[in-house]
Structure 1
Amino acid sequence: MTPEIIAHRGASYLAPENTLSAFRKAMEIGADGVEMDVQQTSDKKLVIHHDFVIDWHTDMRGQIYDMTEGELKALDFGSWKDVNYRNERIATLQEALALCREMEGTIVQLEMKATIDDDPDFVPRVIEEVRAANITDRLVVISFNHDLLRQAKQLMPELKVGVLVYGALETMALPTSTWEMLGLQNGLEEDDFPQLPPLSVENVDDENCSWALRWMGNQISMLQANFPGKSLVEVAQRLLEQRDPVKYVQTLDFKPDWVSCEYHTAYQQPSMVQKLHDLGIKAAYWTVDGEQAVKDLWPLQPDAIVTNRPDRVREWISELEMTE
């Protein structure tokens, strides 16, 4: 079985992530579909963006939830990537789904980013746009906040939903030497990590500290939104409960159609895909960008691979199919 190749935030290594250009480019280079993130503005509109903060994708600071759709639309979300994408505008959910509908056969993984204020009307707004787009047959709504998925399924029973989990977080922390000793590969190369300036007495200045604090603040805000009202200890406990995705989904009071998991978990739990299939649930792994990782996952037969490099993953999968 050939897994679906889903472009993470569109063709994010070639075009500015989560933009209409990135979604078009993804399909041009051979992806089966795209993954995108939807969140809510201060005036209750729905836009496509991953982080709460816009610092890294525009020339100003701000949070999506503190800005109106109009204020966001006035900003350039493309120049940070390449001058050729100058004046790329943030996409609304309506615009993104309309584009995917036009691109025949495009699969959509739509991640709902929980609102900072736990707005009970957020999911109904998303569902309204999904219904209007008329592509339910090739769309799955995913989220780390599983309460949002429960609400979505109640509002639209025919909607496919997918539980996002980190899985066994400790598998991401093992050094390369440990993986090699186990006869496995972690798929990470030195070039995969962002090139940040080395910290020293000379360069620990206001700009570097501000960047780090903004990034940490964004991550904490995301956790607070996904686990509203929970302490950090309680959040950690929730994540531990999800380290075995198969056991975890069986504790839910609704049945997801998909489980989407950080791919290193597959090395520790190679039977995960088959166990999910036995439950009638499909499995996806993210974010898979290395050739060795694709080779390692291939025998497990996941239903989808989420990647920043859909063209390369397509090539590697084609080579694996030819050798069978």
Structure 2
Amino acid sequence: MTPEIIAHRGASYLAPENTLSAFRKAMEIGADGVEMDVQQTSDKKLVIHHDYIIDLHTDISGKIYDMTEGELKELDFGSWKDIAYKDEKIATLEEALALCKELDVARVQLEMKAPLLYGDAFVEQVVEQVRAAGLGEKLVLTSFNHDHLKLAKQQMPELQVGALLFGAVETLALPKGTWETLGLQNGLDEDEDEDDFPQLPVPTVENMDEENCRELTRWVNDKYSMLQAAFPNESLSGILSKLNRQRDPAQYIQTLDFPVEWVSCEYHTAYKKVSMVQKLHDLGVKTAFWTVDTEAALKDLWPLQPDAIVTNRPDRVREWAGELETGE
């Protein structure tokens, strides 16, 4: 079975990520569906954006949860990618889901970016708009915060939900190529015992300059915010304990006290848990791997038969998948 090809934040390689243009482009170049991230603004509106900060995608510094929808709508979220997308506006959740319905998108993976401030009210709002959009089983609501998934499932039992798992330590580490670009080493021990909780990467500093420091600081802050939102009020030891349990997705998913239809994890997890997909399928749970952008990675993962591949390059993955299907 050919996995669904899901465009990560839309066609983010070609268009500004998480925008209506990116979702349209994704369908133009052959994606089966799109992945997007929803957050709550200071006036309790829902908008599509991945980072809590807007520094990289506008010409000002700010945080989604500190700004109103109106303030965000005044900004240009497209020029950072290409002048052709000048004045691209941030999308509301309602606008994004309406477009997906209009385009007849086969799959929408909607990630709730667990808020740092607003809690359960955010989940209730998301579920209300998901119900109103009428996408049915085409939509899968995902989150790293599994308490929020449980709440969403309670409010809308027919809703498909997907547990996002941190899984392998690579989920928390910059991609190898990024470390190399920064002139750093990732500090990961490739020979580690998989039964031991791995150490987080420790960069060397010989090649650090001002630009690299800014990039590394942004990454650390983003990971800190992600962990804070996914594991609210947890101690460091508590977070590490929960992360350790997630390293075996099939085992972990059976500890949840609510049903999930999907498990979505960073694809390196599959390298250490090669039986993971089959075990999840045996439990009636579908699997999605992110973010698969190279031919080599796709070839490695193909025999495992995941149900979905989330990628920044849906056009290339479609091409490579075709070659794997025909044996070329």
Q: Same fold (TM over 0.5)?
A: yes
Tell me if the contact between 1:78 and 1:85 (Cα under 8 Å) persists in the aligned partners. Answer: yes
Q: State the SS of the aligned residue for 2:255.
A: coil
Find the counterpart in structure 1 of residue 11 from structure 2: 11
Find the counterpart in structure 1 of residue 136 from structure 2: 136
Find the counterpart in structure 2 of residue 65 from structure 1: 65
How is 1:166-177 mapped onto 2 (pairs within 5 angstroms)? 166-169=166-169
Structure 1 residue 289 corresponds to structure 2 residue 293:
yes
Judging changes above 3 Å, is the alpha-carbon distance between structure 1 residues 253 and 208 closer, same or farther for their aligned structure 2 residues? same
Counterparts of 1:277 and 1:162, CA distance in 2: 14
Find the counterpart in structure 1 of residue 26 from structure 2: 26
Counterparts of 1:68 and 1:86, CA distance in 2: 21
Find the counterpart in structure 2 of residue 185 from structure 1: none
What amino acid does structure 2 have at the position aligned with 1:98? Answer: A
Judging changes above 3 Å, is the alpha-carbon distance between structure 1 residues 189 and 210 closer, same or farther for their aligned structure 2 residues? closer
What amino acid does structure 2 have at the position aligned with 1:75? Answer: L
Judging changes above 3 Å, is the alpha-carbon distance between structure 1 residues 154 and 82 closer, same or farther for their aligned structure 2 residues? same
Work out which of the residue numbers 254, 272, 284 in structure 2 matches 1:268: 272
Q: CA deviation at 1:316?
A: 0.7
Find the counterpart in structure 2 of residue 178 from structure 1: none
Counterparts of 1:243 and 1:113, CA distance in 2: 21
Judging changes above 3 Å, is the alpha-carbon distance between structure 1 residues 201 and 267 closer, same or farther for their aligned structure 2 residues? closer
Counterparts of 1:111 and 1:231, CA distance in 2: 24
Residues 36-88 of structure 1: per-residue CA shift (max 9 Å, x gap): 00010000000000010001001110010000000101111000000000110
Tell me if the contact between 2:182 and 2:208 (Cα under 8 Å) persists in the aligned partners. Answer: no
Find the counterpart in structure 2 of residue 92 from structure 1: 92
Counterparts of 1:315 and 1:170, CA distance in 2: 26
Counterparts of 2:172 and 2:59, CA distance in 1: 32
Q: CA deviation at 1:216?
A: 2.3
Judging changes above 3 Å, is the alpha-carbon distance between structure 1 residues 171 and 66 closer, same or farther for their aligned structure 2 residues? closer
Q: CA deviation at 1:320?
A: 0.8
Structure 1 residue 145 corresponds to structure 2 residue 149:
no
Q: State the SS of the aligned residue for 1:306.
A: strand
Q: State the SS of the aligned residue for 1:36.
A: strand
Work out which of the residue numbers 215, 221, 232 in structure 2 matches 1:217: 221
Counterparts of 1:71 and 1:194, CA distance in 2: 37
Counterparts of 2:303 and 2:260, CA distance in 1: 24
Find the counterpart in structure 1 of residue 164 from structure 2: 164
| Aligned-residue CA RMSD (Å) | 2.2
Counterparts of 1:208 and 1:291, CA distance in 2: 28
Tell me if the contact between 2:172 and 2:223 (Cα under 8 Å) persists in the aligned partners. Answer: no
Structure 1 residue 111 corresponds to structure 2 residue 115:
no
Q: CA deviation at 1:15?
A: 0.4
Counterparts of 2:165 and 2:136, CA distance in 1: 23
Counterparts of 1:87 and 1:53, CA distance in 2: 18
Judging changes above 3 Å, is the alpha-carbon distance between structure 1 residues 82 and 316 closer, same or farther for their aligned structure 2 residues? same
Q: CA deviation at 1:201?
A: 8.8
How is 1:46-85 mapped onto 2 (pairs within 5 angstroms)? 46-85=46-85
Q: State the SS of the aligned residue for 2:306.
A: coil
Normalised TM-score (structure 1): 0.89
Identity across matched positions, percent = 67
Tell me if the contact between 2:120 and 2:148 (Cα under 8 Å) persists in the aligned partners. Answer: no
Tell me if the contact between 1:118 and 1:225 (Cα under 8 Å) persists in the aligned partners. Answer: no
Counterparts of 1:197 and 1:112, CA distance in 2: 33
Judging changes above 3 Å, is the alpha-carbon distance between structure 1 residues 134 and 202 closer, same or farther for their aligned structure 2 residues? closer
Counterparts of 1:194 and 1:25, CA distance in 2: 30
Q: State the SS of the aligned residue for 1:261.
A: strand
Tell me if the contact between 2:182 and 2:212 (Cα under 8 Å) persists in the aligned partners. Answer: no
Judging changes above 3 Å, is the alpha-carbon distance between structure 1 residues 128 and 281 closer, same or farther for their aligned structure 2 residues? same
How is 1:234-273 mapped onto 2 (pairs within 5 angstroms)? 234-273=238-277
Q: CA deviation at 1:193?
A: 6.3
Q: State the SS of the aligned residue for 2:120.
A: coil
Q: State the SS of the aligned residue for 1:7.
A: strand
Judging changes above 3 Å, is the alpha-carbon distance between structure 1 residues 315 and 170 closer, same or farther for their aligned structure 2 residues? closer
Counterparts of 2:327 and 2:206, CA distance in 1: 53
Work out which of the residue numbers 214, 232, 237 in structure 2 matches 1:233: 237
Q: State the SS of the aligned residue for 1:121.
A: helix
**Structure 2 portions without partners, runs of 5+:** 185-203
Q: How many residues in Structure 1 have an aligned counterpart in Structure 2? A: 308
**Structure 1 portions without partners, runs of 5+:** 174-187
Tell me if the contact between 1:8 and 1:287 (Cα under 8 Å) persists in the aligned partners. Answer: yes
Counterparts of 1:296 and 1:55, CA distance in 2: 35
